[in-house]
Amino acid sequence: MMISWDTAIYCLIGHPISKSLSPIIHNNYFNLIGKNNIYLTFDVEEEDLEMVVNTLKILNIKGFNVTLPHKIKIMEYLDEIDSAAKMIGAVNTVKNENGKLIGYNTDGIGFLKSLEMLKINIENKTALILGSGGAANAISTSLAIAGAKKIFINNRSLSKAKILAEKIKKQFPEIIVDYGGLELNNICKDEIDIVINCTSVGMFPNIDETPIKFDGFSKELIVYDVIYKPRKTKFLQLAEDRGYFAVGGLSMLINQALCSQNIWLNDEHNNINENFYKIEGILKSHVE
């Protein structure tokens, strides 16, 4: 692409970021819509975060994404935080509005959008979330906002599962929330409508691992894995072998990125459904 004095700069900050697919998504998106924009990546250590954020503001960077380990700490250095991001307690998208840095979170929105594209309605459904980290936090909050009836949060660390479960219950007292370990001793499996793996178990290169088995679940179970590399984790393969409807993490990855674009560009160009399939086609060779 041609870079000129009026090229708008967007970027990703995190550590590490060398394997990120975000530049592929965003730069191809800018190319699709004919925008003179560029998306870069900056590997930022935790001790440098405040200095980097101030520098991005001075340089008039138009917007940036935030990945691990900065999604929570970044909130200290922003001028304003969107209400949904406050509820989640983490920011992954920042927009520079005339020198004012505003934080958003598109992880949960991207997840719900991927369900919407598959015509999956989560209202009054019972969800089992595996994990209690950033993705579990955003997804459990979004499920509650979308009207889920019951949410189970099960994690290797019971104390962390309890913290997230109590947070969701406090924010949404009308929803039944429970927690437990990955043995799943606290749930009746046949009442679960959707299982979402928000752990890193099964991620490349540990592709032969899976967080749980699928004994005892309903035949109508939906299985979702936020991991996108490999595209078909062992978790998803086991689900498909049982005949369950299985969804990989690439859909959420693309949708949360396109939702970031909506924030940065004020919905000016982004038809998410149309652009999703174009970006998905470009990404497939990178995540097999």
- Respond yes or no: is residue 229 known to be catalytic: no
125 in the same domain as 54: no
Mean of pLDDT values over 149-166: 97
Residue 86 above 90 pLDDT?
yes
pTM of the model: 0.91
**CATH number of residue 267's parent domain:** 3.40.50.10860
126 in the same domain as 199: yes
Mean of pLDDT values over 230-255: 95
Range of the domain at 179: 109-248
How far apart CA 63 and CA 259 sit, in angstroms, is 13
Residue 176 above 80 pLDDT?
yes
For the chain, what percent of residues have pLDDT higher than 70? 98
232 in the same domain as 115: yes
Mean of pLDDT values over 173-200: 96
Task: Output 187 or 5, whichever has higher pLDDT.
Answer: 187
144 in the same domain as 25: no
- In degrees, rounded to 5, the angle at the alpha carbon of residue 103 between the alpha carbons of residues 102 and 104 is 125
Question: Is residue 268 included in any domain, yes or no?
Answer: yes
Question: Is residue 49 included in any domain, yes or no?
Answer: yes
242 in the same domain as 118: yes
Question: Is residue 3 included in any domain, yes or no?
Answer: no
198-228 pLDDT per residue, tens:
999 998 888 999 999 999 999 999 999 999 8
114 in the same domain as 244: yes
Q: Residue 216 gets which letter from DSSP?
A: T
Comparing CA positions, the residue from 27, 42, 85 lying closest to residue 261 is: 27
How far apart CA 241 and CA 184 sit, in angstroms, is 21
pLDDT at 274: 83
Mean of pLDDT values over 154-181: 97
For the chain, the average pLDDT equals 93
**CATH number of residue 140's parent domain:** 3.40.50.720
Quickly state the pLDDT bin for 159 (edges 50, 70, 90): very high
211 in the same domain as 92: no
Question: Is residue 29 included in any domain, yes or no?
Answer: yes
Mean of pLDDT values over 221-241: 95
Mean of pLDDT values over 158-177: 97
Whether the Cβ atoms of residue 223 and residue 235 lie closer than 8 Å to each other? yes
CA 69: distance to chain centroid? 14
Catalytic residue among 57, 71, 100, 278: 71
211 in the same domain as 127: yes
220 in the same domain as 115: yes
Tokens of 215: 């004994």
How far apart CA 260 and CA 253 sit, in angstroms, is 11
Question: Is residue 78 included in any domain, yes or no?
Answer: yes
Burial of 269 from C-beta contacts in 10 A (0-12 / 13-18 / 19+): middle
144 in the same domain as 98: no
Largest CA distance in the chain: 60
pLDDT at 269: 61
232 in the same domain as 146: yes
Residue 271 above 90 pLDDT?
no
Question: Is residue 1 included in any domain, yes or no?
Answer: no
How far apart CA 63 and CA 151 sit, in angstroms, is 33
- Give the number of domains in the chain: 2
Question: Is residue 54 included in any domain, yes or no?
Answer: yes
208 in the same domain as 134: yes
Question: Is residue 216 included in any domain, yes or no?
Answer: yes
pLDDT at 288: 66
Quickly state the pLDDT bin for 268 (edges 50, 70, 90): low
104-140 pLDDT per residue, tens:
999 999 999 999 999 999 999 999 999 998 899 999 9
Tokens of 159: 């104390």
